[in-house]
Structure 1
Amino acid sequence: MKIDVFAHVLLPRFYQKMLALDPQLPDKMPFLQNPVLLDMPMRAQHQTSSVKQIISYVNVNPEDYVAADEALELVQEANQELLETLQADPEQFAGGVAMLALNHVEGSLKILEEFVVQHQEIVGVQLFSRHLGQSVAAPEFAPIFEACARLHVPIWLHPVFDMRKSDNNIVFSWEYEQTQAMLDIVQAGYFQQYPDLKVIVHHAGAMVPYFAERIRHILPEDMAQDFQKFYVDTALLGNPKALELAVDYFGVEHVLFGTDAPLGILPAGPTKEIITAIEAMPLSTEEKQAIFVDNWYRLSKQKGI
């Protein structure tokens, strides 16, 4: 069995509510048109039999569309729909990642304490590289990081575009934004303030492994070391050489199998390509097993999963 820690959904009830707010969403974000995001029976038909997914919502975030109270209500409903989906098919899914509304920090803290902690199926929360036009590490969001560390709730970090820029593109921009968010988290001192903080970064840590020596030589030593406290997934559409850089930099114990399914390669994602890439890496059988499943079990034990 393999655990895919970074697979996406856009569950039907939540999607309809977001379409009511913005009917142009499928045109603005063409990847939303992938039916495997919404249709769980169709998803099961495509899913690799040896893989159980941990599912998180795609980057359709209510805080970008409505005021605080309504945004909080929408993410609460989305989280309930996520929980119901997980409970309906525990063989298909290994867990789910809750949404937060960061224009309602107090309500988001309650989601952590009263929903995430109380449901074993909910294994963490998702944050984006930017919220409300600001860095995820902006001071007003710091209580979320403190609570996640204190409650032993991992954070899934996913990139979004910086809407101040006119040249955003899906090939490179997200990887830059992800990398900048990692720098912001390190420079905010969150790993120093909250030693139990666990952050899982999409796309194998983006640009960080490639620029490891720039990080080491330019940043203060403690900040450079903090970069290696992130966990990363393997969602690089294959690419074993790039995965080797990620393993070399973060350490094999901080690399988790993740695919970005069902996105990246139609119709249902690059699961087979990423498995093949990991199998091609010059690692021992034990190290590959750690990436495929054991590292997740070690990480999740802190929440008692």
Structure 2
Amino acid sequence: MKIDSFCHLLPRAYADRFFAINDSAAILNLQKRTRDIPALTDLDVRFRQMDEFGDYKQIINVASPPLEDLGPAERNAEMARIANEGMAELVANHPDRFAGFCAAVSLDDVDQAIKEVDYAFNSLNAVGVQIYCHVNRGPMDDPRYDAFWETLSGSGKMIQVHPNRNSSWPDYPTEERSKFEIWWALGWEYDLSAFMARMVFSGAFERWPDLKFLIHHGGAMIPHFAGRVGAGWDQLGSRTPESQKADVEGYPLTKRPFEYFKNFYVDTACFGAGDALRTSIRFYGHDRVVFASDSPYDPEKGPGFIRATIKNIEELDLSADQRQDIYHDNAVRLFGLTTS
């Protein structure tokens, strides 16, 4: 069996509410980007696509945008509940299709977010939670999120991390908007990498060593810039002017920064880029990699990235046991699945 550990959908009740929001220009843009992907909402379409891959299940989460972008905090909390109950129902009704779901949460109200993950984990059997790289443009190492990290560390649940900048993040400080969707194609990988770095240097793994972050897109930039992450950051602060020393003062780490970056888990969602996937697996080791496709955001609107990712994995120099770990066993272990 292949368990696809990072797939997006929109439960019907959630989709109806999402597409009815009309008081935000940003949301109207995101509605356009998701409206024409039938597999996000149409289960018949989705299941026909899944049939191509035989013994295959998905771990599902709610498609972007982040819930914090949907409007007032009260609305966002309500949308999280609708999403989670909808996904729990889908998993219960289709256990042959869905191995589990990762809860939606809105972090504009941290106390409410903690209540929501508690409900999702303990009442709805969520196997993890999906978060984004920043909340309302602010960093996730802000102390106001400490209680959230404490809760997740104690839960033992996986934390899926998804990027989330948009076109309003310019490519250059002299401009007002990003061009050519650079914000998505390149900016999202920077988002993930910056999130990882801020977690490392803020001491997240020192303070909460049981945190389990699953970084989307194969760990983004980190495995491809291992030299800068390693020897480069070993020199952190040595060339920094005295007037900027505060910029490089983080939590006191007991190991090289490089070692903490190895604490993340990653998926195989590299969009068919076999060389990138090979580098990612070599950097993290096959035991920290789970099969995932990012379906249904491929040009075929569903099966394309699944097919391409399987092809990439089959072409890699891996043993049968290593492939089994990536396709199935790692997900069972890390998400605590009961699926066979």
TM-score, structure 1 as length reference: 0.93
Q: 1:183 aligns with which of 190, 194, 197?
A: 197
In structure 2, the partner of 1:33 is 36
- Partner secondary structure for residue 294 of structure 2: coil
In structure 1, the partner of 2:86 is 81
- Partner secondary structure for residue 78 of structure 2: helix
Cα distance in structure 2, aligned partners of 1:226 and 1:202: 17
1:199 Cα deviation from its structure 2 partner: 0.4
Cα distance in structure 2, aligned partners of 1:209 and 1:8: 25
CA separation of 1:290/1:79 partners in 2, compared to 1, >3 Å: closer, same or farther?
A: same
Residue by residue, what CA displacement relative to the aligned partner does 1:132-155 show, whole Å, maximum 9, x if unpaired?
A: 221222221222211111111110
Query: Does the CA-based 8 Å contact 1:52-1:92 persist in structure 2?
Result: yes
Structure 1: state its 5+ residue gaps: none
Which aligned pairs between 1:231-242 and structure 2 lie closer than 5 A? Answer: 231-242=265-276
Cα distance in structure 2, aligned partners of 1:90 and 1:183: 37
1:214 Cα deviation from its structure 2 partner: 0.6
Bigger Rg over Cα: 2
Q: What amino acid does structure 2 have at the position aligned with 1:236?
A: C
- Partner secondary structure for residue 113 of structure 2: helix
Structure 2: state its 5+ residue gaps: 171-176, 235-254
Residue by residue, what CA displacement relative to the aligned partner does 1:251-302 show, whole Å, maximum 9, x if unpaired?
A: 111010000011123131411110010010011111111100111122123x
1:247 Cα deviation from its structure 2 partner: 1.0
Q: 2:107 aligns with which of 102, 109, 117?
A: 102
Which 10-residue stretch deviates more, 131-140 or 272-281?
131-140
Q: What amino acid does structure 2 have at the position aligned with 1:174?
A: W
Which aligned pairs between 1:49-128 and structure 2 lie closer than 5 A? Answer: 49-120=54-125, 122-128=126-132
In structure 2, the partner of 1:288 is 323
Residue by residue, what CA displacement relative to the aligned partner does 1:218-272 show, whole Å, maximum 9, x if unpaired?
A: 2244321110110000001222221111111111110100000111231314111
Residue by residue, what CA displacement relative to the aligned partner does 1:174-227 show, whole Å, maximum 9, x if unpaired?
A: 111111111111111111111111000110001111101110112244321110
- Percent of residue pairs bearing the same amino acid type: 28
- Partner secondary structure for residue 266 of structure 2: strand
Query: Does the CA-based 8 Å contact 1:232-1:255 persist in structure 2?
Result: yes
- Partner secondary structure for residue 90 of structure 1: coil
Which aligned pairs between 1:146-165 and structure 2 lie closer than 5 A? Answer: 146-161=150-165, 163-165=168-170
- Asked if residue 259 in structure 1 is aligned to residue 264 in structure 2, the reply is no
Cα distance in structure 2, aligned partners of 1:267 and 1:211: 31
1:26 Cα deviation from its structure 2 partner: 5.9
Which aligned pairs between 1:126-275 and structure 2 lie closer than 5 A? Answer: 126-161=130-165, 163-165=168-170, 166-167=177-178, 168-220=182-234, 221-269=255-303, 270-275=305-310
Corresponding residue pairs, total: 303
Q: What amino acid does structure 2 have at the position aligned with 1:138?
A: D
RMSD: 1.8
